[in-house]
Every structure is written in structure tokens, then in C-alpha cells.
Structure 1
Amino acid sequence: MTLKEHKKHSAIARPAHGNFARNEWAIVGAPCGEIKALADKVIAALSPQYTCGYVDASHAQADAGAAQPGRLAAGAAAVYTDQISHHQFEYKEQPNSFQFRQLFSEMDLVLVNGNHQHAKAQVVVMDESKKASLQKRLSQLTNVSLFLLADNAAEVFEFVREAVPGWQELPIYKLSDSKKIIAFLEQEMRRAKPVLQGLVLAGGKSQRMGRDKGAIAWHGKAQRYHMADLLGEVCGEVYISCRAEQQPDLNRSYKTLPDTFTGLGPYGAILSAFREQPDAAWLVVACDLPLLDRQTLQQLTAQRNTAAIATTIESPHDGFPEPLIAIWEPKSYAVLLSFLAQGYTCPRKVLINSHIRLLKPLNPNTLLNVNTPEELEQVRQMMP
């Protein structure tokens, strides 16, 4: 093998992140005050539906030539302050792109002051007072989504037209028309809604049951296939999660997804799904739920909240969220990994300590799981 052919690192699917988040727009070409004002309007309108973030620079400290504040000046690397109405972190070192993506990992939408930072997509303002500044930033215009005209501009500047291929096909609004701008970004967010895939957890060893729970034919076929068929009614693609040694024995008409995070139970199965498709949302169900019905799955999908890390159902037994009847959004991937790095592999603990949407069960019996022969007989008596 030559040096050119050698691959040092494994190739895995990467989330479609920008510098900060999956969906981010830099507003460039306007004075900073105008950018802040527009960002305020957009965030106020969209924050009830989406988790929003904002990135800017502080002109006040730059103008004053200020030294680092407080404990940072004394040598601290990071400072957290409970400001009562909000919470503030200060860092001595500027975060790099990897750290920024961690800090903004739960954001659905991030707006960026393009005078100071770059973003994956851009909203470009035509403002005569910032024309020279915009000319210096042409290299930033890599993925323009929208043009805005300030009151002193009548059209897209010629040098911008030359720099942006297909500029004629992009919408052009007045900078003052905040309703149209908000509607445009809202439409873009709807288009970016993560596709919903299904995952049947069938990789357990069924030690308490004494036989493979996924193979029990509660509904005329092995339960893992029955669950996959149910998920197929509400999901794009459905995969049966399994151990690698199980895969050759499973029905080849069903897609399978072997665990790549091994030894972690359901936690590893969910992480394995995100490793395969990190930009998808995963509707995860355990295979030991013989009473689970399509009405419950339709409830989950109809009331799904993409701004949360997950949408799940409250357990009628203890009031806690059910992690194995849940829609896990793409943003939960980083959260699950962070809990794993701290030594936790309980998906319920992740849900309890995160922003989730928790639904009341339509029928508590649909959440009953079967782990032992005794429970099997009890549930069998409940079935029609």
C-alpha cells in the first residue's frame, strides 16, 4: 500500500454542521446596530417554536481596550456567573469551531453578525454606507439565501451579482420588511426539519425471559418484524437494531443496523443509529412492547417537538419519561455522547436532565413491557 492509499482515520458520517449549528445564517453588509435589530425581531418571532442562538462581538470592550474582567484577569480559564435573570460563562481562550459546535449543539437556529463571524449560509444586505465593507467580505458569500435592500439601496450591487452565481433566483426583500424575512426563515426551518427514521431495539439477550423476546409472535409474526411494520407507517426508513452476531439470522427483507457502540444496551443502539445517520431523528421503540399500537406512535409523531432533544411519553408507573418509546432528535446525539463521557449509559437519565417534550399516554397499557415468562402470561391474558 502506498502512502497516498493509506487512510489514517476511519470515515464516519458527519452531522451537517456549520460553524455553530446545523441551521445558521450570517447577516452581512449592514451596520451592526441594524443586524442586532433584525436578529432581535427574528428571534422573538421564532423562539416559541425553535431554540435560537445569536453570535456577535462586543464593541464596547474593544473600544475601551479593556483588560480581561474579574477572575479571568486573575488567571482563571473560565468563569460562571448566576446572573439571576440569566446565566453567563466567560472564557479566557476563544473557542475553536469544534468547541463552538458543542456550545451551540442544542440550537435549532443561530443568527450571526457577519461583520465579525462567518456562517454556513448568508443573508446579504445592500447598504450604501457599508458597500466598501461588503466588498472586502465577498469571500464570505459562499451560500447566499436572501438579499435585503436598505432604504438607501435600490438593487443588488454589481460586485455582489458577479460574486454570487444564480443571484437572480434568490428572493430580494426590503430590510425593513421584517414579516417577509421572518416568514422566509421560518419556511427554511420547516424545510430543514430532520427526517424521521424508525429503530426497533432487538439486540438484547433476553436473559430473564429465557428466549429471544424479539422472536415471540404476538401478532402472527416475530415481534421485531411486527414493530418494524408499525414504525413503517410513520417513519421514512425502519431499521432493526441488533448485535452483529444476530444479523445473519434476521429476515433480509428488513433493514438491520448492528450495534457499533457495543456493551451499552439500548444506549449503544441509539448511538449506533446516530453514527449511521447523524442528521436524522430516530423514533426508537423496544421490541418487548406487545400492546404498543399505531395510535401511540401517531401521538408521538403528531406532537413531536423538534426544539427539544426528544419527544417521549410519561410512564404511568413512576412518572418518568420512557426513553425506549421516544423520538430522539439529531441534537440529542451530542448530549448522549456527553453523558457517556461522564460515565452514564442510562437514556432515561439523559431525558430527565434535558429539555424534552413529555406526553401523557393515551392508553397506559400500551407501555407495558414483557421481560419474564410471568409477565408474558399476564399480558397474553390482556390481548384480544
Structure 2
Amino acid sequence: MISTIPELNGLVLSGGKSTRMGRDKGALIYHGVTQRKHLYQMLLPYCKEVYISCKSEQREHPDELPVIEDAVEGAGPATGILSAFMKKPHSAWLVLACDVPFLTPATLTCLVEGRNPEKVATAFFNPATGFPEPLITIWEPAGYLLLSEFRRKGYNCPRKVLINSDIQILHAPDAKELQNVNLASEYEEVIKLF
């Protein structure tokens, strides 16, 4: 049993290439501000500090939010998570992908209240994939070692780490909120809903 619960910081993953979308998914607007800023603001009540994860060439963006630049290469979304742990290895990280426009504070509250710091991570079960959702997850400091170990073995998928680790699984109040939007056609449909 751990004696103190690691502080919780927030990380919005916004460093991807957005190849399928054709433009920066973090810069899309669903809620009146860029998606990265919307999620940054959503994380603030839950976290000591919140950062935007990005590549060095993406550092300059109009939102002027605190960033953590990718410190490792070629690891997909694990790049941002590993870079955050490199900056603050003793913190836990509440990680959000920037492409989840349906996410609400109610779901984040469920995640934070269901957090189990004794586990590697606390994650929602995603019924759409049948697996834990790695990019709406609280990664505890022990996750840093496992992500690094999996990466050394050639596995850059955070979901594989969750599947093969001792994690706390939760059920989201509304599984639709876990849906990500990757394609331009999906974006056009989603903004009609907002």
C-alpha cells in the first residue's frame, strides 16, 4: 500500500499528425474554442497542473497553453505520455486524447473518483473496442516503467500496456463520450450535433 497518493497532473495529447483528419485535430472547434483548449480547461479542476503534449514544431499555437514537447521519437500516443513522465516521473497523469469531443466533466469525475493509485492505471472499458481505453486514463507513476519497458520491446501501443497490466477498470457513465473523431467526414457530422 502506498503511503501518499501521487499528485495528479493533466495531459492533452495533441502531438499527432492528424493524417486521417487532414488538419490538426487539436485545433478543431466543437465547443467555441479549440479542442485542445477545451480539454485543457476541462482538466483544470481535477489536476494540479495541465499541459498540452505536442511535437517541437507544433509548440507555437494560438492557444498559448503550457506544453510538454515530445522527448522521444516514434512512439505514437505513448510519446506524449512518456514525455510527461520524463518531466514529472513521480506524478500521476490524467491523459486525454484531443479527439474526444463528447467527453464531459461527469465522465472525468467518474474517472478521478474511481482512481486506484495502487494499480498501474485507472481506465474505462470501451465497449466499442472491447478493451480498456488508454487515452482517457489516469496513468500512475508505475505506468512510466511499463510504458518504457514495452517500448524497448517494440510495442508502442498504450492499450497493450493496459491489457497486460494490473489496472482498475471502470465503466463510463455514457460510453459515447469515449468516441474519438478521426476523419474529416466524422468531424462534419459531429459539429452538426453541437
Q: TM-score, normalised by structure 1?
A: 0.49
Question: 3-state SS of the aligned residue for 2:45?
Answer: coil
- The CA distance in 2 between the partners of 1:335 and 1:373, in whole Å, is 34
- The CA distance in 2 between the partners of 1:301 and 1:219, in whole Å, is 23
- The CA distance in 2 between the partners of 1:363 and 1:382, in whole Å, is 16
**1:323 match:** 134
**2:8 match:** 196
- Structure 2: stretches of 5+ with no match in the other structure: none
- The CA distance in 2 between the partners of 1:226 and 1:326, in whole Å, is 17
- Displacement of 1:342 in angstroms is 1.1
Q: Which of residues 240, 243, 248 is equivalent to 2:55?
A: 243
**1:357 match:** 168
**2:91 match:** 280
- Displacement of 1:210 in angstroms is 0.9
Alignment-mate amino acid for residue 39 of structure 2:
M
Aligned pairs for 1:174-323 (under 5 A) are: 189=3, 192-252=4-64, 254-323=65-134
- The CA distance in 2 between the partners of 1:370 and 1:318, in whole Å, is 14
Q: Which of residues 167, 177, 188 is equivalent to 1:377?
A: 188
- The CA distance in 2 between the partners of 1:382 and 1:251, in whole Å, is 24
Q: Give aligned pairs, total.
A: 194
- Displacement of 1:301 in angstroms is 0.4
Q: Which of residues 145, 148, 153 is equivalent to 1:342?
A: 153
- The CA distance in 2 between the partners of 1:343 and 1:211, in whole Å, is 28
**1:45 match:** none
Runs of 4+ in 1 over 3 A off after TM superposition: none
Question: 3-state SS of the aligned residue for 1:227?
Answer: helix
- Displacement of 1:264 in angstroms is 1.2
- The CA distance in 1 between the partners of 2:175 and 2:190, in whole Å, is 13
Question: 3-state SS of the aligned residue for 2:95?
Answer: strand
Structure with more contact order per residue of length (Cα contacts < 8 Å, sep ≥ 6) = 2
- The CA distance in 2 between the partners of 1:249 and 1:361, in whole Å, is 32
- Displacement of 1:270 in angstroms is 0.4
Map Cα deviations across residues 216-263 of structure 1 (whole Å, 9 max, x no partner).
1111001000000000111110000000011123432x2111000122
- Displacement of 1:370 in angstroms is 0.6
Question: Share of identical aligned residues, percent?
Answer: 48
Map Cα deviations across residues 122-173 of structure 1 (whole Å, 9 max, x no partner).
xxxxxxxxxxxxxxxxxxxxxxxxxxxxxxxxxxxxxxxxxxxxxxxxxxxx
Map Cα deviations across residues 344-376 of structure 1 (whole Å, 9 max, x no partner).
111000000000011111101111111001211
Map Cα deviations across residues 302-328 of structure 1 (whole Å, 9 max, x no partner).
010001000010112132000000000
- Structure 1: stretches of 5+ with no match in the other structure: 1-49, 51-107, 109-188
- The CA distance in 2 between the partners of 1:369 and 1:318, in whole Å, is 12
- The CA distance in 2 between the partners of 1:264 and 1:309, in whole Å, is 19
- The CA distance in 2 between the partners of 1:367 and 1:338, in whole Å, is 27
Matched, 1:366 2:177: yes
Alignment-mate amino acid for residue 320 of structure 1:
F
Q: TM-score, normalised by structure 2?
A: 0.96
Map Cα deviations across residues 5-43 of structure 1 (whole Å, 9 max, x no partner).
xxxxxxxxxxxxxxxxxxxxxxxxxxxxxxxxxxxxxxx
CA RMSD of aligned residues (A): 1.1
Alignment-mate amino acid for residue 112 of structure 2:
T
Question: 3-state SS of the aligned residue for 1:314?
Answer: strand
